[in-house]
């Protein structure tokens, strides 16, 4: 009976119901697990980790070598003594992403990161990204941006000239602390790098015009006392270039200590955020949406319209906070990125069927936001003039290795630190939004622990496995 028309119809209906289920059951499980282990002080109404995001993921031990030198550098002293090997990279990426899929569910953002990603052959780079996608990851390639348009074309197109990657995400790191960039070997200021920042975006624009390639581009910048006072001017210059994110990392004492040239304690998240606001000429509210521990991450989610930045949620608006709360409560587990529009619409409608009052809440949010940006006509005009786009600001603060090492060791042994500094470090590690998968040990390791503790041994072993000179 089950093999007849009625049975086949019932089976098809079950498959459709499962496919359009708003939140995958594995995502529900992963979100609940993430929320359960968060320290109490970060379980706020604004917290997105464990309610909308399981956290970002990154690769490790896949290609540690880089062809630029930076002060500071988060790589261990052995990183540049390891050969870049495409087969090794693809194999390790596959194993790590498979374990991340097992632990974190069917969807997450993941970074293809190590040393410099463009040292991979284009085919190996492409295969690594496709491997990440096959495991449900939305990959972002991390680069210093010093590669040519020919490399980008070879990456995204196959032998037949057609796109094998119709959309790519890149985070490009530009700052005056980097040494060896072609045309700016030893930049004396951030302003010297503005042409290189713009040229990076233009590569993607040119290829989009030719092939239809879509892209998401982020701009990363390390901040120390040497360039802190240049952040505001850099923000003003980068804002109209075409990036969708600007991320700043106050330097920490991590990695190769031969490249620690100054004290970095004078630069904290508040100092960088003040520079960001000075560059924009307005406050950037971050209290409405949090991502992990505020001591590690500070975020401004928003968009640009006619060159002005606006937050998606204003913490001073009750209507917008109600919308945020309804989103986290009812829509938080939906994968909005990379879900086909029709499928996403069905998922949203299924949620609204159970929570019809959310329509009014959403309209209240829209009215409040439109008042802030000058009305629907102003927003539509920005869209028509191609002056409307996403822009997220982030400050991500790493921790010094001298604190991370002992704090992580105690965490693995189940010991809660009594020392206030180590206790704070443990809290931040527990709320980390950025983890590396270790299938060999069954761990998801916070990025600070990876870079401060594990990279050293991994890269020493990789020197033996992948020596620069093959004998």
Residue 356 within any structural domain of the chain: no
Specify whether the CB–CB gap between 272 and 231 falls below 8 A: yes
Average pLDDT of the residues in 122-136: 98
Q: Does residue 415 belong to any structural domain of this protein?
A: yes
Q: Is the pLDDT of residue 260 over 80?
A: no
Q: Report the alpha-carbon distance of residue 30 to residue 18 in Å, rounded.
A: 18
Confidence check: pLDDT of 364 > 60: yes
CA torsion angle for 465, 450, 224, 274 (degrees, to 10)?
Answer: 150
Within-domain flag for 125: yes
Asked whether residue 30 is domain-assigned, the answer is no
388-432: pLDDT as tens digits: 999 999 999 999 999 999 999 999 999 999 999 999 999 999 999
The mean-pLDDT minimum among 243-247, 259-263, 365-369, 382-386 falls in: 259-263
pLDDT at 274 over 80: yes
pLDDT of residue 300: 97
The DSSP line for 346-401 is HHHHHHHHH-TTHHHHHHHHHHHHHHHHT-HHHHHHHHHTT-EEEEEEEEE----H
Write down the pLDDT at residue 339. 87
Confidence of residue 9 (pLDDT cuts 50, 70, 90): confident
Average pLDDT (275-294) is 97
Note the pLDDT of residue 471.
Answer: 55
Q: Region 112-126: what's the mean pLDDT?
A: 97
Q: State the average pLDDT over residues 338-367.
A: 95
Q: What is the pLDDT of residues 46-56, one digit of tens each?
A: 999 999 999 99
Does 345 map to a domain? no
Output the pTM of the full model: 0.94
Q: Which residue has the tokens 């019809």?
A: 356
Cβ neighbour number for residue 338 with a 10 Å cutoff? 13
pLDDT at 266: 74
CATH of the domain at 147: 3.20.20
According to the model, what pLDDT value does residue 423 have? 97
List the beta bridge partners of residue 69: 179
Q: Which residues, in sequence order, are bridge partners of residue 57?
A: 110, 435
pLDDT averaged over the chain?
A: 94
Residue 259 confidence (pLDDT): 62
Q: Is the residue at 95 inside a domain? A: yes
Q: How much is the average pLDDT of 93-121?
A: 97
* Residue 265 confidence (pLDDT): 73
The reported pLDDT for the residue numbered 378 is 93
Q: Read out DSSP for 28-85? A: HHHHHHHHHTS-GGG--TTB-BTTTB--EEE--SS----SSEESS--S-TTGGGB---
**Does 14 have pLDDT greater than 90?**
no
Number of structural domains the chain divides into: 1
Encoded tokens for 161: 């000239």
Specify the range with the lowest mean pLDDT, choosing from 24-38, 67-81, 403-417.
67-81
Q: 231-238 and 194-211 helices cross at what angle (nearest 10)?
A: 20
Distance of alpha carbon 120 from alpha carbon 141, whole angstroms: 11
- Work out the average pLDDT over 201-209: 98
Strand partners, 305: 308, 388
Given this model, what pLDDT does residue 307 score?
93
Distances in whole angstroms, Cα of residue 308 to Cα of each of 62, 101, 197, 220, 246: 40, 38, 20, 20, 15
Q: How many CB atoms lie within 10 A of CB 7?
A: 11
Residue 275's domain comprises: 55-319+390-465
Q: How confident is the model at residue 470 (pLDDT cuts 50, 70, 90)?
A: low
pLDDT at residue 101 greater than cutoff 60: yes
190 domain residue, yes or no: yes
- Distance (Å, whole) CA 371 – CA 383: 17
Mean pLDDT for the stretch of residues 459-468: 94
470 domain residue, yes or no: no
Cβ distance 213 to 166 under 8 Å?
A: yes
Task: Report the distance separating Cα 395 and Cα 220, nearest Å.
Answer: 10
Confidence (pLDDT) at 252? 87
Token reading at 386: 């191609």
Beta bridge partners of residue 168, listed in sequence order? 215
Mean pLDDT of 187-212: 97
pLDDT band at residue 337 under the 50/70/90 scheme: confident
Q: What is the pLDDT of residue 163?
A: 97
The pLDDT-based confidence of 446 (bands split at 50, 70, 90) is: very high
Q: What pLDDT is recorded for position 2?
A: 57
Out of 6-15, 163-172, 423-432, least confident range: 6-15
Name the DSSP class of 181: B
């Amino acid at each position: 009976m089950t093999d007849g028309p009625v049975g086949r119809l019932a089976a098809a209906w079950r498959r459709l119901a499962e496919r359009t289920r708003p939140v995958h059951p594995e995502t529900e499980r992963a979100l609940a697990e993430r929320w359960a282990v968060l320290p109490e002080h970060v379980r706020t109404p604004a917290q997105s980790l464990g309610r909308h995001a399981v956290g970002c993921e990154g690769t490790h031990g896949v290609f540690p070598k880089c062809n630029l030198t930076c002060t500071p550098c988060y790589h261990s002293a052995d990183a540049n003594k390891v050969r870049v090997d495409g087969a090794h990279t693809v194999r390790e990426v596959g194993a790590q992403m498979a374990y991340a899929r097992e632990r974190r569910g069917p969807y997450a953002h993941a970074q293809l990161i190590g040393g410099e990603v463009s040292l991979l052959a284009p085919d190996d780079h492409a295969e690594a990204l496709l491997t990440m996608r096959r495991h449900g990851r939305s990959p972002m390639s991390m680069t210093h941006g010093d590669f040519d348009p020919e490399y980008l074309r070879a990456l995204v197109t196959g032998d037949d000239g057609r796109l094998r990657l119709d959309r790519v995400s890149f985070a490009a790191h530009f700052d005056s602390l980097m040494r060896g960039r072609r045309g700016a070997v030893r930049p004396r200021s951030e302003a010297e790098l503005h042409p290189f920042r713009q040229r990076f975006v233009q590569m993607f624009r040119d290829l989009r015009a030719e092939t239809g390639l879509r892209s998401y581009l982020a701009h990363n910048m390390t901040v120390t006392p040497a360039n802190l006072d240049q952040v505001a001017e850099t923000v003003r210059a980068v804002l109209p270039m075409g990036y969708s994110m600007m991320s700043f990392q106050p330097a920490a004492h991590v990695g190769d200590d031969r490249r620690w040239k100054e004290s970095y304690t004078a630069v904290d998240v508040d100092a960088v955020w003040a520079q960001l606001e000075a560059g924009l000429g307005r406050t950037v509210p971050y209290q409405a949406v949090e991502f992990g521990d505020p001591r590690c991450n500070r975020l401004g989610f928003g968009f640009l319209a006619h060159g002005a930045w606006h937050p998606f949620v204003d913490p001073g608006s009750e209507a917008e906070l109600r919308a945020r709360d309804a989103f986290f409560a009812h829509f938080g587990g939906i994968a909005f990125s990379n879900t086909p529009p029709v499928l996403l619409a069905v998922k949203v409608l299924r949620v609204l069927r159970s929570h019809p009052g959310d329509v009014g809440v959403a309209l209240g949010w829209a009215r409040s936001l439109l008042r802030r940006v000058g009305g629907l006509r102003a927003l539509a005009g920005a869209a028509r003039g191609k002056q409307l786009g996403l822009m997220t600001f982030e400050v991500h603060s790493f921790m010094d290795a001298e604190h991370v090492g002992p704090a992580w060791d105690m965490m693995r042994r189940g010991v809660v630190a009594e020392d206030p500094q180590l206790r704070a470090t443990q809290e931040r590690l527990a709320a980390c939004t950025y983890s590396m998968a270790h299938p060999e040990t069954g761990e998801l390791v916070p990025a600070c622990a990876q870079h401060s503790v594990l990279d050293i041994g991994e890269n020493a072993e990789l020197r033996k496995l992948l020596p620069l000179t093959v004998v």
